[in-house]
Chains A and B, each alone.
Chain A
Amino acid sequence: MRQPLLELVDLNVAFDTERGRLRPVRDVCFSIFPGQTVALVGESGCGKSVTALSILRLIPQPPGRILSGKILLQGRDLLTCTENQMRSVRGKEIAMIFQEPMTSLNPVFTIGDQIMEAILLHQRVTHRQAKEIAEQSLRDVGIADPARRLSEYPHQMSGGMRQRAMIAMALSCSPQLLIADEPTTALDVTIQAQILELLRKLQRDTGMAILLITHDLGVVAENADTVGVMYASRIVEYATVEDLFDHPQHPYTEGLFRSVPRLGQLSERLATIPGTVPNPARFPSGCKFHPRCHRMQADRTCANTEPLPREVRPSHWAACHHIDTFAASPVTRPTLDHRREVVPLTDPALHPQQRASARD
């Protein structure tokens, strides 16, 4: 098996608040291979954004703290890096884009300033070259008239345009991994489709890996190779996208699929998952999902012991006591190299940085 680009091993994150310690991320493991798209899906507050921020070590400290675990970027543990080493990882090797294109750009600097800032920081180029790279990356994300756009301020652009500018900024240093934290949530549906299409195209062109954080199963189905379903700060199910959609194993995942309206299916009401997302300060005992679970049985196993993820089908992990097939399978750490064939384009039109990374 090839070496994963990024591997999270038993990551635990805590927030020390006035009301005690919150644990937004518990024992999270997954790996991303070059060129692969991994999606983390879950309701708000399930810990998916904190996981993403922890990879770049950007959770505010204090109150946040990474308790234990490893974040291996090509075998190098980011948690043991110094802050200075971390700064050269951020933006250069791992870039990140955020949910709110409206507020994620600094309103008082021009788009050009903000893109060039990252380029000048990570690449040995002159100001003039930086400007050319910035222009090129704006062109790459499909912004017309990039030279003019460079001198515009964020408020002069539309939401979709701003998200494109964000992506251009993130990709200007040709990172190997792009973390996209709900990149389309704040956008119109048509713009959403355009942005996702753009991300797919850029992935094809550069061969970068994408960690997609979303709560939208539609987005997952269209974009991801591998999916981790998060519930109450744990990954409860982890599988390839096809296997997950065809054979969901965890009752929470099943519930999610049932609550998706389907075309051509007539029903009075959409199915829902009973109950609400538990408060991070007062998680239930045992399996965090058991108060809402229809599989819960009277033997109190669910309420007493927390299930560990098991490989319940080939390359399909789920954390539930009541999965009959594979009942005696051992606990393993999920690493899944299932990706669609991605052939990195070596298009001469690409600028040198991108070509360099595509060859890697």
Chain B
Amino acid sequence: MIRVIAFRLLQFPLVLAVIYLTTFMLVWVVPGSPFGRAERKLDPIAEQAMKERFHADSWKSFLAYYPIQVITKGDFGRSMQYQEWSVTDIIKVSLPVSVTLGIFALTIGTIFGVMIGTLAAVNRGGLFDWLSLTIALIGISIPSFVVAALLLATFTGRFGLFPIGGCGGFREMVLPAVALSLAPLAYIARLTRISMLDVLGSDFVRTARAKGLSRFTVIWKHCLRNAFLPVLSYLGPAAAATFVGSFVVETVFSIPGLGQHFVNSVKNRDQTLILGTVMIYSVFLLTFNLLVDIAYSFVDPRIDITAKSSS
């Protein structure tokens, strides 16, 4: 087990390098310059000077400078857009906000998603099945910006239950976390329902009932642990995506998280910031996928990650 984890960890740098290079290639071939916008064209000479200052005058000088900085100092360089900030500082300031919010949202989504999905499966075809699935599906049938804005308008203006924006305290976190949790909640509810329906048909359910266990124990102890596996494998990528922040929620609730930088950096062709955010995302993704694989072997003893090919 430990050997496998070590092996997977050793692969990380290689995978990250490939993702770094791919991202760089994508960003580099796309037309447009990080310096100056359409309405405020920079003087060509000034732009050239700027590019040279940021080692962005050619792909050779870019690749000769930045990767070495990243490897030796963990420094992604200065943001080409916000020139007085270094990428590392931007991430340091905004990532904790996004991660806190993400943990909160994913916890809500997992708990309620699993609950709704399980109850729906147990009442298959019944009113609760229909109702819960509809509610869960509404969560992913209305654009997230509408849901977020409606939550904001309803619970801040009229009832004044929660503050309008900002971050820090628990109360500030509730609304954005709820908004952010809706999509994972709906997805987890459906996953749980489907795999639960499968598990409820297995023979061991009958054995457990024949022992004299109550329906409640059989469902929530025996079945849930089996039905949780697909949810677990969804949680890896979902955690990575949620923890790095969401543009919509952060914009609507004016939260200074990392999510906005994903969109803005790409829109502005801020090459250094793009690379920084993508690398953070990739590290999260790889880590959570590894964690999920480890968790898998705890939840289901039949799965032996030592026998699994790395991917």
* Chain A residues engaging chain B, CB cutoff 8 angstroms: 53, 56, 58, 87-92, 95-96, 98, 100, 103-109, 117-118, 121-122, 153, 155, 166, 169-170
Q: Do A106 and B212 touch across chains, with their CB atoms under 8 A apart?
A: no
Least CB distance from B277 to A in Å reads 38
B17-25, B201-209, B237-245, B259-267: which one contacts chain A? B201-209
Total cross-chain contacts (CB, 8 A): 71
Task: Mark contacts of B108-138 with chain A using CB atoms, 8 A cut-off: 1 yes-contact digit, 0 otherwise.
Answer: 0000000000000000000000000000000
A96 close to B210 (CB less than 8 A): yes
- Which residue of A109, A118, A153, A155 is within 8 Å of B212 (Cβ)? A118
Nearest Cβ on chain A to B264's Cβ, whole angstroms: 45
Contacts A108-B226, A109-B222 given; indicate if A103 touches B211 (C-beta within 8 A).
no
**Contact of B211 with A118 in the complex, beta carbons under 8 Å:** yes
CB distance from A135 to the nearest CB of B (A): 18
Cβ-defined partner of B213 (8 Å) among A96, A98, A117: A117
In the assembled complex, the CB of B67 is this many whole angstroms from the nearest CB of chain A, namely 44
| Contact call A58/B210, Cβ cutoff below 8 A | yes
Taking a contact as CB atoms under 8 Å apart, the answer to whether A58 and B207 are in contact is no
**From A106, which residue of chain B is reached at the shortest CB distance?**
B204
- CB-based contact A87/B213 at 8 Å: yes
Q: How far, in angstroms, from A88 to B204 measured CA to CA in the complex?
A: 19
Q: Contact check, A92 vs B207: say whether CB atoms are below 8 A apart.
A: no
Q: How far is the CA of A353 from the CA of B110 in the complex (A)?
A: 44
Known: A103-B202, A103-B203. A108 touches B211 (CB 8 A): no
> Do B212 and A108 touch across chains, with their CB atoms under 8 A apart?
no
A89 to B203, CA, bound (A): 20
A103–B211 Cα distance when bound, in Å, is 15
Are B203 and A100 neighbours in the complex by a CB distance under 8 Å? Answer: yes
Mostly helix, strand, loop or mixed at chain B's interface? helix
Tell which of B211, B222, B299, B300 touches A90, judged by Cβ atoms closer than 8 Å. B211
11 new A-B contacts at CB < 8 Å, known A104-B204, A118-B212: A58-B206, A88-B212, A90-B211, A90-B212, A96-B207, A96-B210, A98-B206, A98-B210, A118-B211, A122-B212, A169-B211
Return chain B residues, CB-CB under 8 Å to A117: 211, 213
Contact B210 A91 (CB under 8 A): yes
B41 an interface residue at 8 Å Cβ cutoff? no
List, sorted by A's number, 20 A–B pairs whose CB atoms are closer than 8 Å: A53-B206, A56-B210, A87-B214, A89-B212, A90-B211, A91-B211, A91-B212, A95-B210, A98-B203, A103-B203, A104-B203, A104-B204, A104-B206, A106-B207, A106-B222, A106-B226, A107-B204, A108-B225, A108-B302, A109-B222
Query: Given contacts A107-B226, A107-B301, A108-B300, is CB(A90)–CB(B209) below 8 Å?
Result: yes
Residues on A with C-beta less than 8 A from B300 are 107-108
Q: B residues within 8 Å of A by Cβ?
A: 202-204, 206-214, 222, 225-226, 299-302
Q: Are A108 and B206 in contact (CB under 8 A)?
A: no
A122 to B207 CA separation, bound complex (whole angstroms) = 15
B226 near A121: Cβ-Cβ < 8 Å: no
Q: Check B210–A90 contact: CB distance below 8 A.
A: yes
Chain B residues contacting A89 (CB-CB under 8 Å) are 212
By beta carbon, the residue of chain A nearest B223 is A106
Contact A121:B212 (CB < 8 A) given known A107-B300, A153-B302: yes
Contacting residues, chain A, for B299 (C-beta < 8 A): 108
Residue ID in chain A nearest B299 by CB atoms:
A108
Q: Which residues of A contact B302 (CB under 8 A)?
A: 107-108, 153, 155
Min CB distance A41 to B, Å, is 21
CB pair B301 A108 closer than 8 Å: yes
Closest-CB distance, A40 to chain B (whole angstroms): 17
CA distance A56 to B302 in the complex (A): 31
> Nearest chain A CB to B284's CB is how many angstroms away?
28
Instruction: Considering the complex, give the chain B residue whose CB is closest to the CB of A84.
Output: B214
Closest approach, in angstroms, between the C-beta of B219 and any C-beta of chain A? 12
Q: Once the chains bind, are A121 and B213 in contact (CB under 8 Å)?
A: yes
Nearest A residue to B204 by beta-carbon distance? A106
* Residues of A contacting B222 in the complex (Cβ-Cβ under 8 angstroms): 106, 109
The listed residue (A100, A106, A107, A155) touching B208 by CB distance below 8 A is A106
Task: Using CB atoms, name the residue of chain A closest to B229.
Answer: A108
Bound together, the chains give a CA A100 to CA B202 distance in angstroms of 10
Q: How far apart are A112's CB and chain B's nearest CB, in angstroms?
A: 13
Nearest 9 CB-CB pairings of A with B = A91-B212, A90-B212, A103-B203, A91-B211, A96-B210, A106-B204, A118-B211, A104-B203, A153-B301
Q: A104–B212 contact, CB under 8 A?
A: no
Q: What residues of A have a CB within 8 angstroms of the CB of B212 in the complex?
A: 87-92, 118, 121-122
- Residues on A with C-beta less than 8 A from B213 are 87, 117, 121
Bound CA span A88–B211, Å:
9
Measured between beta carbons, the chain A residues less than 8 angstroms from B210 are: 56, 58, 90-91, 95-96, 98, 170
